[in-house]
């Protein structure tokens, strides 16, 4: 017998946002978006109980299967980060973009398109409205710019007043051959942790800060909690990486998804 | 903007059954089951409002992605059937087996294994307990045998007393080269409809019975309603068939799944 708690789903305003959302006429294929995979709305507590709000960039193929943000390689890195702050449960993660991106140079300029921003801001406002969020972390430049644009609106400025905020590098910013090394990424995340940890007031679990070393340890890549997915998702989807791949045409709007059972 | 109602999930006893369920030690790979894909619990109203209970056989690759029973080719055929009875909304569909089968001759003999039957009976009892179900239809021999075994238990006999019941052929019983033709299947379903339709007391929509002809018409293969899946599933997953396939090793426990975006 397996006993797996599961996400019982969004409530209130969050539920309405999962029912009424922009489609492929807003997130256009011609603009670099892969709306064909469907929207991916959130991971965590979409019910008004979140203390931490995380903003990521856009969903990839893993998230198109789990239908939750940040549940693949980037997601497990972020999960380790938020658990170092003591947020093991009461967090909400959303993305700057509702749909996956197949061409960043085409898609990123649309970050502040009115319809894209309005919908994203509705999520951010819903997250902050209950007055429970004390910490906001953005991962990557589009997420930071999304937060900045939100807080520049009157409603966003009011809702975010007094919230603890920090921006961090994208969880997979350390691309092979790129300018950012694994150590650069972890140093950046350590700066974020050292800024945030002493100021977190209401973590789910109080624990001393343990910074990253020169690489992610296995304990720093925890599984995605069962309670963050819907019912019935097999455990290996939460505890292993790279089980979903694009085939045979990555790089185009219509990329297929292949799920490899471990 | 898209407005798609979605399944807000199981409640009460149904919710507990989606949290606590038999795993691969009960539905063993060595017995022909593909527990690696995860359990698939239901489609429809798992909240006590169902008037119709449908029992199918086991989930295939499409259902492993949508995480809902009867949502592929067989599911769209069944959807057409239940809508002919006027049940457009208040139905609950479950399977005789919680996990997919890769080898029927190995798996079907386990239909009445105590742990398999006990869990399935708990679903059937939960479906009937609110006293709302007036009609039960089984599709295929394993489903019929599952229902028969349930109604032979004291609790099942009590819960099913007075319920209108009919057994029908499996929705894809018309295998190419097999003994059952498309016409045989549709004739069998017409018998079921002609028996059930006059006796249905509380359909969602009252309408005259239109029997099947010599083949399924497009209208008789309706899309899977958005309200039957969780949020964010793209519409083409509900309105097209065969977008999920097994690769590269169908016929074994570890078959991978390939999702082709249309």
**Predicted local distance difference test score (pLDDT) of residue A127:** 98
Encoding tokens for residue A131? 């007055």
Q: According to the model, what pLDDT value does residue A1 have?
A: 87
Do the strands B164-168 and B135-139 form a parallel or antiparallel pair, or are they unpaired? parallel
| Predicted pLDDT of residue A169 | 98
Rounded to whole angstroms, how far apart are CA atoms B222 and B168?
19
**Residue of A21, A256, A259 lying closest to B256 (CB–CB):** A259
With beta carbons less than 8 A apart as the criterion, state whether B114 and B40 touch: no
Helices B141-151 + B114-128 axis angle, to 10: 80
Angle CA B137–B141–B147, to nearest 5 = 50
CA atoms of B194 and A70, how far apart (whole Å): 50
CB-based contacts of B56, cutoff 8 Å, min separation 6 = B69, B70, B74, B78, B93, B94, B95, B96, B139, B140, B143, B170, B171
Contact B81, B70 (CB under 8 A): no
Query: For A46-103, what is each residue's pLDDT tens digit?
Result: 999 999 999 999 999 999 999 999 999 999 999 999 999 999 999 999 999 999 999 9
User: Which residues on chain B place their C-beta less than 8 Å from a C-beta of chain A?
Assistant: 1-6, 8-10, 15, 18-23, 26, 36-41, 65, 67, 230-234, 236-237, 247, 254-262
Digit-coded pLDDT (tens) for A54-66: 999 999 999 999 9
State the DSSP code for B155.
H
Distance CA B255, CA A260 (A): 8
- A249 and B259 Cβ atoms separated by less than 8 Å: no
Which residue in A102, A232, A247, A254 has the most chain B C-beta atoms within 10 A of its own C-beta, making it the best mutation to test that interface?
A232
Q: What is residue B73's predicted lDDT score, i.e. its pLDDT?
A: 95
Q: What angle do CA B15, A39, A130 make, to 5 degrees?
A: 65
Low-confidence ranges of chain B (pLDDT < 70): 248-249
- pLDDT tens digits, A155-166: 999 999 999 999
Candidates A249, A57, A42, A157; CA nearest to B230 is A42
Placement of tokens 């793209």 in the chain: B234
Chain B CA closest to residue A26: B1
**Mean per-residue pLDDT for A178-203?**
97
Superfamily of domain A12-259: Uracil-DNA glycosylase-like domain (3.40.470.10)
Chains A–B, number of C-beta pairs less than 8 Å apart: 111
**Cβ within 8 Å, pair A6-B20:** no
- Determine the pLDDT at residue B251: 77
Measure the CA–CA gap between A40 and A18, rounded to whole angstroms. Answer: 9
Task: Note the pLDDT tens digit of each residue in B83-112.
Answer: 999 999 999 999 999 999 999 999 999 999
Q: What does the alpha-carbon distance between residue A259 and residue A243 come to, in Å, rounded to a whole number?
A: 6
Q: Chain A contacts of B2, Cβ < 8 Å?
A: 20-23
pTM, two decimals, is: 0.96
What would the mean pLDDT of A108-116 be, rounded to a whole number?
Answer: 98
d(CA A21, CA A236) in angstroms, rounded, equals: 30
């Amino acid at each position: 017998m397996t006993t797996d708690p599961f996400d019982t789903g969004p409530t209130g305003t969050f539920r309405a946002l999962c029912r009424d959302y922009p489609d492929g006429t807003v997130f256009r294929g011609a603009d670099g978006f892969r709306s064909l995979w469907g929207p991916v709305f959130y991971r965590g507590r979409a019910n008004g109980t979140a203390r931490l709000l995380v903003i990521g960039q856009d969903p990839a193929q893993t998230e198109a299967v789990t239908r939750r943000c940040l549940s693949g390689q980037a997601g497990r890195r972020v999960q380790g980060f938020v658990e170092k702050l003591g947020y093991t449960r009461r967090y909400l993660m959303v993305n700057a973009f509702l749909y996956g991106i197949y061409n960043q140079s085409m898609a990123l300029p649309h970050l502040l398109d009115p319809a894209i921003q309005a919908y994203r801001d509705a999520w951010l406002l819903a997250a902050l409205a209950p007055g429970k969020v004390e910490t906001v972390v953005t991962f990557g430049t589009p997420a930071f710019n999304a937060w900045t644009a939100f807080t520049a609106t009157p409603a966003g400025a009011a809702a975010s007043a007094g919230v603890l905020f920090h921006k961090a590098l994208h969880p997979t910013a350390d691309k092979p051959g790129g300018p950012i090394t694994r150590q650069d990424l972890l140093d950046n995340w350590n700066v974020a942790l050292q800024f945030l940890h002493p100021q977190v007031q209401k973590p789910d679990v109080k624990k001393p800060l343990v910074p990253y070393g020169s690489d992610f340890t296995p304990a720093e890549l925890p599984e995605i909690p069962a309670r963050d997915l819907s019912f019935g998702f097999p455990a290996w989807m939460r505890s292993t990486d790279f089980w979903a791949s694009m085939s045979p045409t990555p790089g185009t709007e219509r990329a297929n998804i292949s799920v490899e059972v471990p």
